[in-house]
């Protein structure tokens, strides 16, 4: 067998599909949830600004509150929990992360200050702030789905929800933009088969 066929990461990636029907009444062990959230926070992000916040919706009452907000998609009520992945519109404030590197002696204070200046400058543009929030939080979302699958859970990413209602009902501060809901649980039925365009249609080598 080739390295590709034996590769665990590639297997997990190909096993992930958007599961809509879940076993109900299951609780996720806290260690599994923590492992999934840690994997999410290990995603790469521009300037390491970690443009994400994860709102875990898990109580029965909160699931019922979420159901109409997610246009009655049953997976938010039937899965173990749903993670609302939020993007940080003020991720420039997370540049405090560089203080760790300065304290550890890896980064000169003047370099940090120059970086922070560049970052704050870029984030004056609301389009940059919003694009960055959504782009980087989406990488964390993919980590959630892959980590969950590798631990034996299934997921469904959802853009089908009312972001304003979500923010209102779950007291999400204006700093955060809802990017995606991800239900996490154990599949009762497999995902509907979903094809992919052949690489010959999606890949351009060299230039167009
Ligand atoms: C950003 C995004 C939003 C999506 N929104 C929904 C949704 O609201 N409801 C749903 O059932 N599936 C949703 N999906 C799942 C897609 O339909 C699914 O990923 C796609 O058809 C490919 O199938 P697969 O993930 O099973 O391979 C969404 C996926 C993404 C990435």
Confidence of residue 6 (pLDDT cuts 50, 70, 90): confident
Ligand 1 atom 21: residue of nearest CA? 194
Query: For the chain, what is the mean pLDDT?
Result: 97
- pLDDT in the model for residue 2: 81
- pLDDT in the model for residue 5: 80
Distance in angstroms (rounded) separating the CA atoms of residues 74 and 15? 22
196-to-52, 142, 200 alpha-carbon distances in Å:
29, 17, 11
Q: Is the pLDDT of residue 1 over 90?
A: no
113-to-94, 95, 132 alpha-carbon distances in Å:
13, 10, 21
**Class of CATH domain 22-88+126-187:** alpha beta
- pLDDT in the model for residue 4: 82
Cβ neighbors of 67 (< 8 A, separation 6 or more) are 73, 74, 76, 77
Does the CB atom of residue 158 touch ligand 1 within 6 A? Answer: yes
pLDDT digits (tens, 9 = 90+) for 115-151: 999 999 999 999 999 999 999 999 999 999 999 999 9
Cα of 102 vs centre of ligand 1, distance in Å, is: 41
Report the residue among 157, 181, 194 best suited for mutation to probe ligand 1: largest number of ligand atoms under 8 A from its CB. 157
Task: Give Cα 13 distance to the centre of its chain.
Answer: 15
Count of positions (residues) in the chain? 208
Mean pLDDT, rounded, for 160-177: 98
Does the CB atom of residue 160 touch ligand 1 within 6 A? Answer: yes
Ligand 1 atom 31: residue of nearest CA? 157
Domain borders along the chain are 22-88+126-187
Cα of 18 vs centre of ligand 1, distance in Å, is: 6
């Amino acid at each position: 067998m080739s390295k590709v066929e034996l590769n665990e990461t590639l297997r997990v990636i190909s096993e992930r599909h958007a599961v809509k029907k879940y076993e109900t009444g299951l609780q996720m062990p806290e260690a599994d949830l923590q492992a999934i959230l840690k994997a999410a926070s290990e995603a790469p992000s521009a300037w390491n600004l970690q443009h994400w916040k994860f709102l875990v919706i898990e109580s029965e009452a909160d699931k019922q509150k979420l159901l109409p907000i997610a246009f009655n998609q049953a997976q938010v009520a039937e899965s173990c929990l749903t993670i609302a992945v939020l993007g940080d519109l003020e991720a420039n404030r997370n540049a405090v992360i560089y203080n760790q590197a300065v304290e550890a002696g890896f980064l000169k204070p003047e370099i940090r200050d120059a970086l922070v200046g560049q970052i704050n400058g870029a984030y004056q543009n609301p389009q940059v702030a919003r694009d960055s929030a959504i782009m980087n939080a989406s990488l964390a979302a993919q980590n959630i789905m892959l980590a969950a699958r590798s631990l034996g859970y299934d997921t469904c990413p959802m853009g089908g929800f009312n972001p304003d209602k979500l923010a209102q009902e779950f007291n999400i501060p204006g700093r955060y933009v809802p990017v995606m809901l991800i239900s996490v649980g154990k599949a009762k039925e497999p995902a509907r088969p979903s094809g992919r365009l052949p690489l010959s249609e999606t890949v351009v080598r060299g230039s167009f």
